[in-house]
Amino acid sequence: MTGIDDLPIRDELRGKSPYGAPQLDVAVRLNTNENPYPLPEALVERIAERVREAARDLNRYPDRDAVELRTELARYLTRTAGHPVTVANIWAANGSNEVLQQLLQTFGGPGRTALGFEPSYSMHALIARGTGTGWLSGPRNDDFTIDVERARRTIAEHRPDVVFITSPNNPTGTAVEADTVLALYEAAQAAKPSLVVVDEAYGEFSHRASLLPLIAGRPNLVLSRTMSKAFGAAGLRLGYLAADPAVVDAVQLVRLPYHLSSVTQATALAALEHTDTLLGYVEQLKAERDRLVAELRALGYEVTDSDANFVQFGRFEDSHAVWQQILDRGVLVRDNGVPGWLRVTAGTPDENDAFLEAVRALKKEQS
Ligand code: PMP
């Protein structure tokens, strides 16, 4: 049998595994930070209508610049994220993963490096590898916050071309203060200058305001967002960035022509018409997230403060064994490979009850 490594693949891909959480058939799945609420029926109908219209033109390529969609995304951010932006500030792609890939294709690449503060979203390092960008792993404090002084030193020493700041951070849930972003931006400009990417995939779930206003007057600062979480549309694959218009022009150099299908654009536009309903679900999830934090702490677990739709809890001598024990009770959580910790996504109240029941039973067995 021919294996991958028998093929003439790039050396840096040899022996590597593809990214992905186990997709197991379990009753309660709280492992991939999805929104547990299906789209409301009125929105499903609106999607069908808009997609039907789009289908009549499927013989034609889509709007290559997705102008209507970017305009609506700009209106959404202007209304909810505390800073006015226009279509010229926004770029959209198939999930924020594709946005991040386009950014690294444009600002990273062979001979260049990207820095992230780990543990964080592991796709940052994998997209770096896929685009031939070197990867630097920066440190975090024991409480998973970023130590500004150490981060500054790391940036000054390694002079990365791209710096990732994930806020709220995945898998820890930790928000990054605006002052920290500004300090790292200044350090990154002094060292190179380089592109600073704030990955705000979970921004809508935060207790704090969006970091969007920071892009004003900072052409090398990019905010990345997604409709996968707050809009409950992980299956849609729609991510976007907000930045200086020059950044939007720059990513055009690497985007594939017509990368965003007419069906995707129509569906995303329908979802944006229902923003208020969907943000109502976000409020419920934030309350459930806070309940998970409080109840896990009451059970005696250590819990990292969370600004996201998930909660990191521990500490365990063998987190993988505990992951399995929770799975044996019908609940799938995530073992991100952070030693001592597991991550649970906030689900519906019933799903969260099932999870809490499972960990309560574990505690009882141990005592
Ligand atoms: N950034 C972060 C921090 C994430 O956790 C995720 C999804 N897990 C993404 C980006 C990518 O999301 P998507 O491609 O669905 O927009």
pTM, entire model: 0.96
How many whole angstroms from 166 Cα to the centroid of ligand 1?
10
- The verdict on the CB of residue 226 being under 6 Å from ligand 1 is yes
User: What is the residue-level pLDDT of the chain in tens, covering all 367 positions?
Assistant: 999 989 999 998 898 888 877 788 899 999 999 999 999 999 999 999 999 999 999 999 999 999 999 999 999 999 999 999 999 999 999 999 999 999 999 999 999 999 999 999 999 999 999 999 999 999 999 999 999 999 999 999 999 999 999 999 999 999 999 999 999 999 999 999 999 999 999 999 999 999 999 999 999 999 999 999 999 999 999 999 999 999 999 999 999 999 999 999 999 999 999 999 999 999 999 999 999 999 999 999 999 999 999 999 999 999 999 999 999 999 999 999 899 999 999 999 999 999 999 999 998 887 7
- Contacts for 37-46 with beta carbons within 8 Å, 24 or more apart? 37/232, 37/281, 37/284, 37/348, 38/232, 39/232, 39/233, 39/271, 39/274, 39/278, 40/274, 40/277, 42/274, 42/277, 43/270, 43/271, 43/273, 43/274, 43/277, 43/278, 46/270, 46/273, 46/274
Give the position, in ligand 1's atom list, of the atom nearest the Cα of 239: 16
pLDDT at residue 236, rounded to an integer: 98
- The verdict on the CB of residue 171 being under 6 Å from ligand 1 is no
**ipTM metric:** 0.99
Nearest CA residue ID for atom 2, ligand 1 = 201
**Alpha-carbon torsion 74, 286, 146, 109, what sign?**
negative
How many whole angstroms from 356 Cα to the centroid of ligand 1?
26
pLDDT at residue 239, rounded to an integer: 98
- DSSP string covering 243-306: --HHHHHHHTTTSPTT-S-HHHHHHHHHHHHTHHHHHHHHHHHHHHHHHHHHHHHHTT-EE---
- The verdict on the CB of residue 341 being under 6 Å from ligand 1 is no
DSSP single-letter state for residue 220:
T
pLDDT at residue 366, rounded to an integer: 79
Nearest CA residue ID for atom 7, ligand 1 = 201
pLDDT at residue 126, rounded to an integer: 95
Question: Per the structure block, which two tokens stand in for 332?
Answer: 């799938």
pLDDT at residue 363, rounded to an integer: 87
Which domains does the chain show, CATH number per domain? 4-38+276-366 (3.90.1150.10), 41-274 (3.40.640.10)
Q: What's the per-residue H, E or C state across 46-101?
A: HHHHHHHHHHCCCCCCCCCCCHHHHHHHHHHHHHHCCCCCCHHHEEEECHHHHHHH
- The verdict on the CB of residue 97 being under 6 Å from ligand 1 is yes
Q: Which of 126, 197, 226 to mutate to test the pocket of ligand 1 (most atoms within 8 A of CB)?
A: 226
How many whole angstroms from 96 Cα to the centroid of ligand 1?
6
pLDDT at residue 367, rounded to an integer: 73
